[in-house]
Structures are given as structure tokens and as C-alpha cells.
Amino acid sequence: MSKLDSKTPEGPIKDKWTKHKNDINLVNPANKRHIDIIVIGTGLAGGAAAASLAEMGYKVKAFAYQDSPRRAHSIAAQGGINAAKNYQNDGDSTYRLFYDTVKGGDYRAREANVYRLAEVSGNIIDQCVAQGVPFARDYGGLLDNRSFGGVLVSRTFYAKGQTGQQLLLGAYSAMNRQIGKGKITMYNRHEMMDVVLVDGKARGIIARNMITGEIEKHSAHAVVIASGGYGNVFFLSTNAMGSNASAAWKIHKKGAYFANPCYTQIHPTCIPRAGDFQSKLTLMSESLRNDGRIWVPKNMDDVMAIREGKKSPTELTEDERDYYLERRYPAFGNLVPRDVASRAAKERCDAGYGVNATGEAVYLDFKSAINRYGNEKAHVLGIHNPNDAKILELGEGVIEEKYGNLFQMYEKIIDENPYKTPMMIYPAVHYTMGGIWCDYNLMTTIPGCYAAGEANFSDHGANRLGASALMQGLADGYFVLPYTIGDYLADDIRTGTISTDLPEFNAAAKEVTDTLQKLIDIKGTKSVDYFHKKLGEVMWNKVGMSRNAKGLTEAMAEIKQIREDFWKDVRIPGGMNELNPELEKAGRVADFLELGELFAKDALEREESCGGHFREESVEEDGLQKGEAKRNDKDYAYVAAWEYKGAPADAVMHKEELEFKDIELKQRSYK
Ligand SMILES: Cc1cc2nc3c(=O)[nH]c(=O)nc-3n(C[C@H](O)[C@H](O)[C@H](O)COP(=O)(O)OP(=O)(O)OC[C@H]3O[C@@H](n4cnc5c(N)ncnc54)[C@H](O)[C@@H]3O)c2cc1C
């Protein structure tokens, strides 16, 4: 029997969640007061979970490495959050959101989880509105929606280009209410260093006070990991600089299976890399694809002239432009899912049509939208026969209202006015669909240890649709975990407080201290970033969008070598018992250096093109256009959940076969 039991409830898909909620164990309010829960992370997933669990009566201890929950990486989310409210009356429904998500993820997600996500999506919006989240509204006062990739409806709720920030302020207020009541104890500037297992169950954590360096022991009856994604394994990504895999990796090493590590989302609209000394990439929100058209020149002469600065893109006529997404995918056009758009951009650039000096950029052009909106606005204002200058002025005004902060950000970074010259964009690492494997209850393979938000292997299969991460994080935190965790904790009502004097806590604390000391004692010659960057180069070149067996095998060996060099030659200034950002970074990079190898192993194992990645061998074999993925082969529809066996290379894979009972497996097409 497989060691993986998804615990998916029986019955028709639309009834599963309701039935499950009716069937599972409950903890009565008086007993909740005697139960402690640790939540690692106060982004949207952790913040929502901590607030809800405390509101229900549990005693919560919340941990974050930032100085405030408000600074979690979730604050960066720009474009919006999906929900099947059908406010636009454009045919949306729970089923459609479910269908789009499963199809968008290349049929690599667990159907029942995705259906539940779609089902609770509407509640999330109501909850956030009640918290005072200032979603954009239309003329009639109803909440407004826009479209994101991979769908034919408008279901994305947004707060200008700051949706994540506004949602996080909502979750933070809900948390603060409970912090004020003493139901949540907030541990800012604390980093979880390990999980503590007692009799095989998660019973606490070891944390480091990042200000004093003190190693602390904290106990609980259950531990929730909501520590975000691991895109920074690539060094360059759109993630916050601090985003890391350590909490997830530590529980993996203690028995939690790690699922689909190689599924990364490569976002198509990011500001291209400028040079070798860059440490961060910047996202241009997908919402821009509502109005921006993506193109490269049709003729190589124009490409060269533009690269050499002899020609401006604005000089090219419509006939001289290749709107390649509109050409290849007429039904979805510029709003194909991210993976499709990214692969198509790479395909054009690999063919030599990239428009910047490095040949790694395509255009995102707002000229048509500016014209369209300018004419519309002139009409509204009763200006008959407006001249071109007036149309431009009015159109730019509308674009500014919609995307002003993003345009400003672009101009500050690139020093070019995107209202006048098309933006240059290129795919970049953005999100990780892989993560800690969990069952329908969000419990990992460690009893009592849960995973929520981007940290779990999530409901997005091989590719997440835009605006669905916020939805999933908040669904997990507000609407799933608060129900499912009680099923497990019902057995703990008589356990009483878990002592941190147990030998398991002391052994884990000693191990953490010894590892930190070992890092400090290396006293080598190279900075932590030196190794991180080297890892990132291998990851992007051999484990990134385009992969082949030879490259992946080499990558595994190279990562192992970088890891060995790191442990011999890293230099960490300062000591352990003080604020030491370099030491923090070293611990995280040490974990990335292990995760990276498992990532490559997973990619090697999956001989498929899927999501943002294409396997060069299979592209040829299947007669697909370069950059197209093989979609619906049922043989491949599985979750690879890796069990740690002493080293990443020795990890053993357990397969969770995916069944598509409620969704027709169609050749995935966006044409
Ligand atoms: C630039 C950008 C824009 C985006 N825009 C959108 C969008 O418009 N719509 C959308 O749906 N998604 C968007 N996403 C994705 C989305 O923002 C994230 O997937 C989501 O916010 C992750 O939330 P989370 O709660 O899971 O994790 P995070 O917000 O990353 O929070 C992680 C938390 O864990 C804590 N933590 C981590 N490790 C430890 C540790 N060891 N010890 C203690 N604490 C720890 C951190 O302190 C933090 O509080 C965007 C992502 C990026 C990068």
C-alpha cells in the first residue's frame, strides 16, 4: 500500500467538503482553550490561519522572521485574487474556476482540493470586505473584476496594484485583535530552525531569536508551516529577498514528504535581467496583459537595428510586428496562462528575436489600449473628432488610473517611459507549485504538522493561474485549516501542556546550536551570496525552463559540489549570539543547496514537458512546437512526493496517482 493517503472524502465532488465538515471531529470551545498551536509564517496563509484559530479559541503562537507580520512577502502581490462570484455575469461558476485551475495546472492537481478551493473562493472576498479591504469598485458600487491568464471570464478582485498589501493588512488586523486579547503570542524576528517530534508527532519547534541569537524551545499540540515558497533557490526571482525554504526543508528532513519540487512558475512579464550584479528581479503584474499586447519584430533586420539603437520599436508598422501569442492562441491571445506565455517568449528569443542587448526581452505594448481608451474617453466627454494628441492624452490618463504604480516602477528601473515606448519583459522565476505534500486536511506526512499557502504543494498542479495564490493562501488559512485541524486535535484535549524539557526538545536545540557553530567555525574565504549565485546559475541553466536528461544529471553533481565547497569555504563574519544577517542567510542557503539537488532529481524523473518547463527530448519526440508541453497523458498525472533518506540524492519517490473523475481530460489547448 502506498504510504500516501490523500484522505479525499468519498461522494460527488460538489458534496465532498460539506460532507467532510459534517463528518470530522470537533473540539468544543472550552477544550480549545487548552490546546496550543504554533503557526510558522504570518503572510496571507499563516496570518489568516493564526487569526482564525485564535478567534475559534485555540492558543496560538505565531512566528515570523520579519519585524512585523505586515512585512511578509504576501505584501508584494500586485494583481489580484480570484473568486467565482460571477459579478460580471459572464458565465463564471464554481465549476469553471475548478476547471480552469485543473486545466491551467496541466492536470497535475488533486481534483477534490481544487473544487473546495473554488467553492470557498467567494467566502474569502466576503471575509476580506468585512475586514475593510478596499477592493476596487465599478461605477455602480459593486466590486470590480479584471481578467487574468488562462480564463475566459473576469473573476479577479483587486486593490489597484497592491492587492497583497491590502489583504495582508486585513489579516494583520484580524491577528492584532487576537494579539490584543492574548490569544495569539506573536514572535517577530524569530526564525524556526527545526521541528520537534515527540512519539512521531509534531510537538513543537526550535526557534532562534534573531536579535539576541538565543535558541528557544516552543511546544504545541500541532504545528502549521505557512512559510511561503522557495523560488529563491534560483537566486534571482521575483520573491522577496528573505523568502526561503528552510522551515519546509527542516520538516522534510524529519519526515514530511516534499512534493513536485521541480514545478516552478516562470512568470512571463518581468523586467529583464540587466547584468551580473543583480540580486533581485521585478515583476510587472499579469494584470498588464489585460491591455498590453506582446510582440517581437517579424524581421531580423529590425531586431538588429533595435538592439543597436538605430531604430525605435515605435517606428515599426503593424505589419512588421509579430504578435506571436495572438497568432498562436487566437482564443486566449495575450491572456494565455503564464507557462504558455513564458515558453512562447523563450521560443522567440531563442530563435533570435529578443529585442534587448542580451536578446532576452520581448515587448509589452500599450499603444492599442491607449488609443482605444482615448477614443472611448473622448466619446464620454463629448469631444467630437478629437485629434491624435487628445486621444493620446486621454488614453494615457486611463492607463495611468489602472496601472499607474506599475508604470512608475518600470520607469524608475529601466529609465524609459512605458507610455511612449513599449515595455521590455522576459520570463522570471516567480512561484513554486511544489512544496510540502499534504492530504485533504492539509496535514503533512508528520502527524500534527500541517502545511498551508505557497509552502504546501498546493492546488495548482504544474502551473498556477494568476491571482490564485492569494486565493489559496487565504482559503487554507481562513476556511480549510480551522475545520480540519480540529479533527486531529480532538484526540489531544486531555494531553495538557507539552513540556519543553523533554529530551526531544533538548536534542533538537543542541543540533541547531551545533550546526550554527559549525557554520561560524568554517571561516572560509567566500561570501554566502557567492555560493547562492553559483547555485542559481546551475538551476536556471540546467533545471530552469528548458531541461534535458544530460543537463539535469550534470546539475545534480554540480549542486552537490557547490554544497561541499560551501561547507568548506563559506565565511560568516560575527558570532552566533547576536544579530547576524549573514548567519541567517547561510542557514537558508545551506538548505537551498540540498533542495536544489532534489529539485533536479525530480525534474530528471519526470520525463515530460509540463507547466513552465519543457523537456527537450520529449518536445522532439512528440512533434510539438518547441516550447509546447505534452498535456494530458494520464500516465504522467501524478504527484511525486519525495521521502528524505539521509541525502537529497537518496530521496525515495512515492507516487500519488491523480484521478480525473469530474473533469474531462481534454487536449489542453488555448487556441
Ligand atoms: C511580486 C509578486 C507578486 C505577486 N502577485 C500576486 C497576485 O497578484 N495574486 C496572487 O494570487 N499571487 C501573487 N503572488 C504570489 C503570492 O504573493 C504568494 O504566493 C503568497 O503571498 C504567499 O503567501 P504565504 O502566506 O504562503 O507566504 P509568505 O507571504 O511568503 O509568508 C511567509 C511567512 O513565513 C515566515 N517564515 C518563513 N520562514 C520562516 C522561518 N523559518 N521561521 C519563521 N518564520 C518564517 C515569513 O516571516 C512570512 O511571515 C505574487 C508574488 C510575487 C513575488
**In this structure, which residue's CA is closest to atom 9 in ligand 1?**
467
Banded pLDDT at 627 (limits 50, 70, 90): very low
**CB of 40 shorter than 6 A to ligand 1:** yes
> Catalytic annotation on 338?
yes
Q: Pick from 99, 86, 112: which is nearest to 18 by CA?
A: 112
Which residue would you say has higher pLDDT here, 140 or 630?
140
CA trace torsion 356, 361, 367, 369 (10° rounding): -170
pLDDT value at position 634? 58
**203 within 8 A of 221, measured Cβ to Cβ:** yes
pLDDT digits (tens, 9 = 90+) for 545-571: 889 999 999 999 999 999 999 999 999
**Is the pLDDT assigned to residue 622 strictly greater than 60?**
no
pLDDT value at position 518? 98
Rounded distance between C-alpha atoms, residue 606 and residue 335, angstroms? 27
Whole-number average pLDDT of the chain: 93
pLDDT digits (tens, 9 = 90+) for 149-187: 889 999 999 998 899 999 999 999 999 999 999 999 999
**CB of 334 shorter than 6 A to ligand 1:** no
pLDDT value at position 619? 57
* HSE-CB for 643 with a 13 A CA cutoff: 12
pLDDT value at position 182? 97
Distance 151 CA to ligand 1 centre (A): 24
Banded pLDDT at 402 (limits 50, 70, 90): confident
The set of residues, in sequence order, having a beta carbon less than 8 Å from that of 327 and lying 6+ positions away, is none
Q: Pick from 101, 223, 166, 111: which is nearest to 468 by CA?
A: 101
**CB of 467 shorter than 6 A to ligand 1:** yes
Banded pLDDT at 650 (limits 50, 70, 90): very high
Least confident of 1-5, 424-428, 431-435: 1-5
pLDDT value at position 628? 53
What's phi and psi for 451, nearest 5 deg? Answer: -135, 135
**Is the pLDDT assigned to residue 461 strictly greater than 70?**
yes
Average pLDDT of the residues in 351-359: 94
Banded pLDDT at 276 (limits 50, 70, 90): confident
**CB of 454 shorter than 6 A to ligand 1:** yes
pLDDT value at position 671? 73
pLDDT value at position 611? 83
**CB of 239 shorter than 6 A to ligand 1:** yes
What does pTM read for this prediction?
0.95
Q: Which of 42, 63, 67, 73 most suits a substitution to test ligand 1, by most atoms within 8 Å of the C-beta?
A: 73
**CB of 434 shorter than 6 A to ligand 1:** no
pLDDT value at position 513? 98
**In this structure, which residue's CA is closest to atom 53 in ligand 1?**
239
Rounded distance between C-alpha atoms, residue 131 and residue 406, angstroms? 26
The 10 Å Cβ neighbour count of residue 350 is 15
**In this structure, which residue's CA is closest to atom 3 in ligand 1?**
77
Distance 72 CA to ligand 1 centre (A): 6
Name the residue with cell 519543553.
Answer: 500
- The number of the ligand 1 atom at minimal distance from the alpha carbon of 158 is 8
List the catalytic residue out of 155, 208, 338, 464. Answer: 338
Rounded distance between C-alpha atoms, residue 627 and residue 501, angstroms? 56
**CB of 192 shorter than 6 A to ligand 1:** yes
Average pLDDT of the residues in 325-351: 91
The set of residues, in sequence order, having a beta carbon less than 8 Å from that of 244 and lying 6+ positions away, is 227, 228, 230, 232, 588, 591, 592
pLDDT digits (tens, 9 = 90+) for 528-551: 999 999 999 999 999 998 899 999
Q: Pick from 492, 486, 57, 448: which is nearest to 222 by CA?
A: 448
**In this structure, which residue's CA is closest to atom 2 in ligand 1?**
77
- The number of the ligand 1 atom at minimal distance from the alpha carbon of 80 is 8
- The number of the ligand 1 atom at minimal distance from the alpha carbon of 246 is 41
**CB of 121 shorter than 6 A to ligand 1:** no
pLDDT digits (tens, 9 = 90+) for 503-519: 999 999 999 999 999 99
Banded pLDDT at 665 (limits 50, 70, 90): low
pLDDT digits (tens, 9 = 90+) for 66-80: 999 999 999 999 889
